[in-house]
Structure 1
Amino acid sequence: DQLFHQDILRSFIKSLGYDAQPMNEAEALAYSELLEDGLTGISMSCGAGMMNVAVLSAGDPVVQFSTAKSGDWIDKQASLATNMTHSIVQQEKESPEFDLLNPDPTNQIHQAISVYYGNLIVYTLEQIAYDLAKSPSLPKFKDPIPLVIGGGTSLPTGFIGKFEQALEAVNMPVAIGEVRHAADPLNAVSNGLTLAASME
């Protein structure tokens, strides 16, 4: 339960003499990766359990939401499709030989992982387009905005390329200027939290 854990952590940090304020993962990612863009753009934190998305305009998080599919879902679906254990699928997914854009045609697990990654990316992009289109608080951006991505689920070779391919087929309500990977995808959220705290 997110609310329970948030409250427990807030109480603990407060007991140490600090003022703890919760921040969405995607907003924290923006602080790490969108400072040079005036904290304006879309940030997407790809975790194991969910995708967290935020749209920021000059540092103001105008739209934030999460989707329930992410890395664990890929592992589960590929495991069912190949009749392999989750741990074997995860090991293959994290292998340096795995390339999302060019999966080994002789490796059934790589093929399955690639299929479900593709499905996840399309699903996430469609959710982003849907949520942005229905949001009354979405500003009219003068110029195309960047989309930055971080988190462990974004680590496989070819992820950004596959994401860009899928993005071309989705009708986004905002113009995307570039898609870029966080400089340090695994630590970008914690880096962003540190930066945000230092700016308070």
Structure 2
Amino acid sequence: MDKLFGVIRQGGFHFYRTNHLEKAMGYLPEEGSTLRPETTLVNSMGKVGYPWVQANLISGIHDYEQFYGDLYRKCFVQSRKHPHLAPMLKTFWREYQAVDKDLQMALWGLQAGSVSDEQVFINRTQFQDEAQELLALKGWVEKGELPADFFSLEQIAAMIAEHKPEGILEKLSQSFSYRDNIDVYRYGAKKKKQSAVYRVGHLIETVGRKIKEKG
């Protein structure tokens, strides 16, 4: 479940076969050549016989309690990655910014990115100076480190179970496509490898479903 988009959507967590990491390094895109370097890498690997699988499993929460500076940078980037969603995101964030400073910072980052012509990189250090200047201007203090036990598993499960998108969130939810079954991205992989990937993905989904039922 995504804090900034306000909906349950596709994304991480990602698991990798570590014995293929050295080969994968050769497919890392040059910095600045794409706003989706990880997707570019796995798609490139898929085309040479190393497919990836997406399981239809809700695995946790995303982008909750991020540093303000990271939220500013992330949403500056989102203005380029998801320009078609910007009007809905602005509506959502404006509606809740008075009670959620994270969404207020997100809105500032998105607005700045929408009017800037600066090249964007997937780099945590970019726009940090701008974010710190904004914090100082608003009289905000950056967050401290988040304790590992800040969210309990019970809290996370409850947040997901109680999530009911309404209004603008319902529209945002409809902007993301979901499938009932596992998606296997083949990209020219041999059938034997495709079958193996599907079986592993099916196992992950089955185990996740049983854990959810017991919880």
Q: For this structure pair, what is the TM-score category when the shorter chain's length is used for normalisation?
A: under 0.3
**Bigger CA radius of gyration:** 2
More strand by share: 1
More helix by share: 2
> Which one has more relative contact order, counting CA pairs under 8 Å at least 6 apart?
2
